[in-house]
Amino acid sequence: MAGPVTPRPTPPALRAWPTGFGVAFLALIVLTLIGCVNYALSLGYGLTFLLGGVWVLAAGQALRGARDLRLGAQVSGPVAAGTPLPVTLRAQGGRGGALRVTLHLPYDVVSGSLTLEPPGEAGSEGTLQLLVPTDVRGPLTVRITAHALDRLGLWRVRLPDPAPLTTLIHPAPEDGAPPPPARSVSGSGDGAGRAPGDEEFAGLRPYQPGDSPRQVSWRHVARTGQLLTRETDAAQGRARRLDWQDAPGPPDARAARLRAWVDALHARGEGYALHLPGELIPAGAGEAQRLAALNALALAEVEPPPAPPARRVVAPPDPLPGAALVWTLLALAVTLAPGVLRQPWWLSAVIAALLGHALLRTRSSHVAPLPTWLLALLVVAGGAALNATYGTLLGRDAGTAFLALLAALKTAESHARRDQAVLTLLGLFVTSTGFFFSQGPGTALYSVLSAAVLLTAATTRLGRVPPLTRPTLTRRLGATVRLLALATPLTLALFVLLPRPDGPLWQLPVQGQNLTGLSTEISAGSFTNLAQNPAVAFRADFRGAVPAPAERYWRGPVLESFDGLTWRQVRGGAPTPSVEATGAPVTYDLTLEPSGTPWLLALDAVVRVPEGAFITSSFQAFTPRPVATRRRVTLVSQPALLGRQENPDRLRFDALLPQGQNPRTLELARPWQALAPAARVQAGLNHLRRGGFTYTLSPPLLPEQNRTDAFLFGSRRGFCEHYASAFAVLMRASGLSARVVTGYLGGELNPDGNYLIVRQQDAHAWTEVWLPGQGWVRVDPTAVIAPARVNADVRTALTQPAASAARPRSGLERLRLRLDSWQNRWNSVVVEYDGEQQTALLARLGVTGGAQTLWWLVLPALLVTLLPAYIWTRRAARPAEPAQRLWHDLTRTVGAEQHPGETPGRYVQRQSAAQPHLAAALRDAAHAYQQARYAPGPPDAALRDLRAALKTVRSLRHRARR
């Protein structure tokens, strides 16, 4: 039957609380989440959830590290008052991370941090030495408060307080003290007896701490192995007598003078006796006499310690080491690098200069931080310059540029560790703003890289900062990557399951440059630059067959007002014209690139738009929320007769021409007024077809007066807007209602995904003419001049206007299409993942019930996704070496940790006394462990014995519990 088992003491409950940096980190997560919700930044959700996973896992790391952490403290005293007292703290275990230690004194507070290296491994250790101020003499008790932190310093866990440390603080010697009194102790001469001194050998005694090494009898040590100290004496009458009453003033002043006398007599080797109130130090000499005298002086009439201040004095901020600033500058340089591609060159130069100045400060103490007035001036000047460049400081382009400037300016005045925390948070926020410009896979990878280097730099906030070497950088960056990898399952679960709002939290459009070029007005030459821009405007995925090239007219702004130079869109309410379907509906998904405009480019005639969008009276799809980021919408179009029932006021307005302009055009079209409406259209097309017109991107400049006459009867060279405008003027001159429609024509079919790629160079303008009985009829006069513009593309139309098809694709173009197909899949799966796709995905998985059901799924999903991180962290806590790992498991099974510096044999003795029923198994385990670690030859047999002993211990422990 097993003997009595000593119950294992219940460890105190450990709780994790966020640090100040952790609270700010959480606030950043909430802020970026709000931005992602408002601007539908799908990749922003991913980065936000990834940082949220890091925040959660850091709490677990802090808790698990605190459970294994062992802290020891040692005071190096005594010291004289006014001399800093070294307190050494040693931490072991903790699986890496950091330790924040605070020393509480009766009159002050001292704190410091240490980092446990190597991070993430059992057996990690670190040493911290703090200097405690000693203001007064007497006994000093130092209470220790310790908090375990994760590697990033986001969470802290209060550790059980170690036993207080108490030491004596000796009085400081008085400067310029008078000579000690000549008075001797009672009795004089050799016959009066002997007292401790340095004249004659008096015998040997056991060694005592504080004895001088010169007094040790090394001959006896070599012969017997025992430390013995030689004692000497002197005539008692030659010892000085020092008395408390000999020193005037308050107790501290008296102690200081007596200390000065003791030091003086000790330096001369003279004996002395010390008389204090209530205590007598007999006559003697040497280091032991001096130590006894100083101890007595430290305790003589000690005044009570000063009361703690009513209001705690705020300690100065911890200085920022140069190495830590270098780590942070490297991370910020990586984070701010993409801004060079989109911000003004002068801003990039200013940011580079500021980062360079901060780097110089880490290399030379002669380079001072920039003064506050200069930083303020740079903020004002930079803001004014950006406002002049962009016209605002609140838009996407100006706001992100100004944020980058502020981050760089912060480096110029950073001098404390808290400044490093601010720079880290600014860098993470700058990283998240990159999704306003792009949400491609390259941007996603770069944002993760930026977050990794910023979090790696954040690990230098606590304790000793390692030098920026390649092995150190690799190790720390690897630890950060592992942390991000552990947070990835949680990120995916939140990305898929967390319900997403259907609309923005507030209507604040992201301002920026108009990227599509489709505006509410055009004049000659408006589309020339667009025709040279191969950037993607949008992609179209059809649920069925892709329309023929002649049907790929993507409707944008409709322009009805003409002043002789410019066509403009007319705003205002108007009765909705009739729409009479003539064919089957076509459903397609548009992935719109950021444009800053509200147009949803649709085929004629759009009959269904997303929720919140509208169809105007000119049959264009419109959304109140501009397309500020990549956006995916589903539209339905259907061939139809448009506006057979149209508002007469609108028709009259669309037939107006400015007075006194373009007389030759009016003269040309006047005879057509006698023709039927359809014949007038054909007459106008025949004039263009037979008039020697040329399709070109470089037409000559046209005069402001009679511009249409100059084009039709002069240059006869132009682009789509020239022909659409001139034809609309001809139709109005012939008595018909006509208007100009802008948008896109065509699209490149990608066979890899069976979708259309519509580029900026596909921007187009055409004419709509109202014919009785038919309504608004599309007429494209450019197709008469260059049929290849409809059948092929812009480039083919410029070189081969009559071509019926585009030229064959080259190998490079096929590769480009393959890459674009991957981009399109990324957009459809990741970037356009919203509430509608979320509902559809869960419906395919058999989950229904809407957002309420999703919230019930989030909690179990989080628990499942955190399980791999928990298992990995538990495995990372065990040593890698097999024998050490088995011995680690043994101590866990026994229920008692091995003390720092304790040998396996000593551990077995201690636990055998506490748990006798385990004694034999523990002895076998210790023997097997030592054989596996230190015996020559393969350790296989010893490891088997160690496993067997561990199994026996587990069995005995289990039996004892029953």
Identify the helix (H) or strand (E) that includes residue 135.
Answer: none
What whole-number distance in Å separates Cα of residue 961 and Cα of residue 53? 38
Highest mean pLDDT among 83-92, 212-221, 650-659: 650-659
Distance (Å, rounded) from C-alpha 727 to C-alpha 689? 12
Among the listed ranges 6-15, 81-90, 184-193, which one has the minimum average pLDDT value? 184-193
- Highest-pLDDT range among 81-95, 212-226, 271-285: 271-285
Residue at 175 is within a domain: no
Confidence of residue 506 (pLDDT cuts 50, 70, 90): low
Q: Which pLDDT score, from 0 to 100, does residue 929 have? A: 87
The whole-angstrom separation of Cα 909 and Cα 923 is 9
Q: Is the pLDDT of residue 510 over 70?
A: no
Domain that residue 600 falls in: 521-811
pLDDT value at 200 more than 70: no
Given a contact cutoff of 8 angstroms between Cβ atoms, the answer to whether 83 and 839 are in contact is no
Domain boundary among 259, 274, 299: 299
Give 338-373 pLDDT, tens digit per residue: 999 888 999 999 999 999 988 888 887 777 778 888
For residue 457, give the nearest of 578, 365, 341, 321 by alpha carbon. Answer: 321
Q: How far is residue 961's CA from residue 42's CA, in Å, rounded to a whole number?
A: 54
Catalytic residue among 147, 266, 687, 764: 764
Is residue 770 domain-resident? yes
Q: Give the tens place of pLDDT for each residue, 460-504.
A: 877 666 666 666 778 788 888 988 988 888 888 888 887 777 666
Taking each continuous run of H as one helix and of E as one strand, the counts in the chain are 27, 36
- Residues 565, 695 within the same domain: yes
Contact 712, 664 (CB under 8 A): yes
Q: Which residues are registered as beta bridge partners of 276? A: 279
The position carrying tokens 């059980």 is 160
**In the listed set 265, 299, 333, which residue is the last one of a domain according to the structure?**
299
- Give the pLDDT of residue 804: 62
**Alpha-carbon gap, residue 249 to 93, rounded angstroms:** 52
Residue 666 lies in a domain: yes
922 located within any domain: yes
The residues, ordered by sequence, that sit 6+ positions from 748 with a Cβ below 8 Å of its Cβ are 756, 757, 758, 759, 793, 817
Task: Please report whether residue 364 resides in a domain.
Answer: no
Provide the Cα torsion 662, 668, 672, 677; round to 10°: -50
Using the 3D structure, point to which of 266, 299, 332 is the last residue of a domain.
299
DSSP string, 659-715: TT--HHHHHHHGGGGGS-HHHHHHHHHHHHHHTT-EE-SSPPP--STTHHHHIIIII
Other CB atoms closer than 10 Å to residue 856's CB: what's the count? 12
- Confidence tier at 8 by pLDDT (50, 70, 90): very low
Q: Describe the crossing of helices 441-458 and 322-336 by its angle, rounded to 10 degrees.
A: 170
Examine the domain organization and report whether 688 and 539 are in the same domain. yes
For 660-679, the pLDDT digits (tens) are: 899 999 999 999 999 999 99
- Reported as a pLDDT band with limits 50, 70 and 90, residue 404 is very high
State what percent of residues in the chain have pLDDT above 70: 83
Residue 773 has pLDDT above 80, yes or no: yes
953, 890 Cβ separation under 8 angstroms: yes
Residue 859 confidence (pLDDT): 67
Residues 774 and 922 in one domain: no
DSSP string, 618-644: TS-EE-SS---S-EEEEEEE--EEE-S
Both 786 and 890 in one domain: the answer is: no
Given the residues 147, 266, 720, 762, the one annotated as active site: 720
Helix axes 372-390, 396-412, angle to 10 degrees: 160
What's the rounded Cα separation, in Å, for the pair 225 and 229? 13
pLDDT for residue 188 = 39
In a domain, 556, yes or no: yes
pLDDT above 60: residue 694: yes
Q: Do residues 285 and 235 lie in contact, with contact meaning Cβ atoms separated by under 8 Å?
A: no
640: left (phi over 0), alpha (psi -120 to 50) or beta: beta
Give residue 5's pLDDT band: very low, low, confident or very high (50, 70, 90): very low
Average pLDDT over residues 750-766: 88
Which of 540-549, 743-752, 838-847 shows the lowest mean pLDDT across its residues? 838-847
Average of per-residue pLDDT values in the chain: 82
Same-domain status, 882 and 739 = no
pLDDT tier at 10, thresholds 50, 70, 90: very low
pLDDT of residue 447: 94
Q: What is the dihedral of CA 490, 494, 496, 501, to 10 degrees?
A: -170
User: Count of domains in the chain?
Assistant: 3
The type of residue at 769 is: V
In this prediction, residue 921 has a pLDDT band, given cuts at 50, 70 and 90, of confident
Could you give the C-alpha distances from 206 to 203, 209, 229, 232, in angstroms and in order? 11, 10, 6, 14
723 and 608 assigned to the same domain: yes
Region 374-391: what's the mean pLDDT?
A: 88
Query: How far, CA to CA in Å, does 120 sit from each of 455, 459, 567?
Result: 16, 13, 68
Assess whether 36 carries a catalytic annotation.
Answer: no
Q: 882 and 806 share a domain?
A: no
Do 745 and 778 form a contact (C-beta atoms < 8 A)? no
Catalytic residue among 397, 780, 793, 820: 780
- Supply the angle between the helices 940-961 and 919-934 in degrees, to the nearest 10: 160
Task: Using the predicted structure, report yes or no on whether residue 336 has a pLDDT greater than 90.
Answer: yes
Highest mean pLDDT among 219-223, 335-339, 367-371, 844-848: 335-339
555 within some domain: yes
Q: Measuring CA to CA, which residue among 586, 730, 570 is closest to residue 650?
A: 570
Is residue 598 within 8 A of residue 627, CB to CB? The reply is yes
Burial class of residue 908 (count of CB atoms within 10 Å of its CB; 0-12, 13-18, 19+): buried
Q: Are residues 929 and 788 in the same domain?
A: no
pLDDT score of 122: 47
**Quick check: 728 and 742 in contact, CB under 8 A?**
no
The gap from C-alpha 242 to its chain's centroid, in whole angstroms, comes to: 67
Has residue 515 got a pLDDT over 50?
Answer: no
d(CA 265, CA 383): 72
**Do 761 and 890 fall into the same domain?**
no
Could you tell me the CA-to-CA distances from 892 to 572, 886, 889, 899 in Å, in that order? 79, 10, 5, 13
Q: Is 614 a residue whose pLDDT tops 50?
A: yes
Residue in this structure with the two tokens 């910023």, named with its chain if needed: 454
Backbone angles phi, psi at 216, to 5 degrees: -70, 135
Lowest mean pLDDT among 255-264, 326-335, 874-883: 874-883
Q: How many angstroms separate the CA atoms of 527 and 722, rounded?
A: 10
779 and 915 part of one domain? no
Q: How far apart are CA 99 and CA 114, in angstroms?
A: 5
Task: Over range 901-921, report the average pLDDT.
Answer: 85
pLDDT tier at 680, thresholds 50, 70, 90: very high
Cα–Cα dist 916/910, whole Å: 10
Tell which wins on pLDDT, 374 or 415. 374
d(CA 317, CA 287): 42
780 is annotated as an active-site residue = yes
> Could you tell me if 286 and 215 are in contact, meaning their C-beta atoms sit under 8 angstroms apart?
yes
Tokens found for residue 512: 């920026």
- Give the model confidence (pLDDT) of 420-444 as tens digits: 899 999 999 999 999 888 888 889 9
Structure confidence at residue 962 (pLDDT): 65
CA 838 to chain centre: 27
Query: With 80 as the cut, is the pLDDT of residue 252 above it?
Result: yes
Q: Give the pLDDT confidence of 52-61 residue by residue, as tens digits.
A: 999 988 888 8
- Are 788 and 916 part of one and the same domain? no
pLDDT at 893: 85
**Burial zone of 400 (CB within 10 Å; 0-12 exposed, 13-18 middle, 19+ buried):** buried
Question: DSSP string of 891-945?
Answer: HHHHT-PPPTT--HHHHHHHHHHH-GGGHHHHHHHHHHHHHHHHSSS--HHHHHH
Instruction: Please say if the pLDDT value at position 448 is more than 50.
Output: yes
Percent helix / strand / coil, the chain, rounded to 5? 45, 20, 35
Q: Does some domain include residue 336?
A: no
Residues 683 and 802 in one domain: yes
- Say whether 110 sits in a helix, a strand or coil: strand
